[in-house]
Structure 1
Amino acid sequence: MTEYHGNVHVGGPVQTHELAQLMISKVAVGPMNNNAYLLRCRQTDEQVLIDAANDADTLLTVIGSGGITRVITTHQHGDHWQALAQVVAKTGATTVAGREDAEGIPVQTDETVGDGDRIKVGRLGLEVIHLAGHTPGSIALLYDDPTGAPHLFTGDSLFPGGVGNTRGDKKNFESLINDVETKLFDRLPDETWVYPGHGADTTLGTERPSLPEWRGRGW
């Protein structure tokens, strides 16, 4: 197995992060270079997909014969659900999204979630963290690994170098930066691995010194 570094590109190979109890496979899809993540419980082989963003055939190949029980959509923007209908049609998976974003996703959301809710992945669980600002119902997903660092899937709310785009809306930016600071940086340790909706991975420790700069620049 190739050492995991989290750098993927459209048409390129999948990167797989092997944890003690969870396998995380990262693939890039679509014209907007979205990241999709397949999570598999190593005890039960149950799988969950985060963001059926595009390229259904690619995602279904990554999912393989084991299928998936759920597809979680991190937020309502169209580049994160282009393949959702096809993936659900092929797998019969339950759809999950943030409560405030569900109406903006044109595939029915079977389960709406909010702060503190838990989503099962076999014998493991993901904690839902609501981060309002990029969209009203954006969610991050936390896997608090009992054997190592936490792992955090942030959608488009946190990237290397800043929070998600709030399109110049001061109120939305303040909401997002406050949520990211209080719910992520104030709570989780520096070694927390961050998996964003586009581009390379990072850690909270790498980004933490830049928080005052982000707040000062307003984006």
Structure 2
Amino acid sequence: MALEGKQKTVVQTVGVVVLMGALAWASVPFYDWFCRVTGFGGVTQTADAGSDVILDQTIKVRFDASKARGFGWEFKPMQREMELRIGETGLAFYEAYNPTDRPIAGQASYNVTPYEAGGFFSKIDCFCFEEQVLQPGERVEMPVSFFVDPEIVADRDAKYVHTITLSYTFYEIELPEEAKANAQAALDQPRETNLN
């Protein structure tokens, strides 16, 4: 009887561990979906085109860049801030450089502060929408076009926002198969030797 009770306890404990692991695994995509739909947590919106309405009121947008620990790129905004009219389309650039001797793939996550402005900051086009691959020694300028939705001036909390900070963090991801094949082909090419 005691052995049967211990087995039941072990099965229940394993069940709880599996359930907690499944919930933890599912919480990340669910939270990401929730933030994208609501703008909660400073997550921005996306748009196919700029705003039809441009107000006389201006707002400052600051740009910030960071990278995950151990990520081999250099990454920075090419401008620290800009001031534009609410509803006006802005265009900013970030610079990335791969100083290593190997190709590196990266993906950017982004955030907007203060959080109440996230639902009103709309990106039209952004390097963060897709993975980036930089070859050894490659330096690129990556654009982001955006606008601040004029509805911000009518929001109970967001109407008091005068400065928005757009932050990107780059982290390394696995190289796509095509980039792996290209890197391997470059390594396999015979080196020219000078016979003189």
TM-score by length of 2: 0.22
Structure possessing the higher radius of gyration over alpha carbons:
2
TM-score by length of 1: 0.20
Question: Relative contact order: is structure 1 or structure 2 higher (C-alpha 8 Å, sep ≥ 6)?
Answer: 2
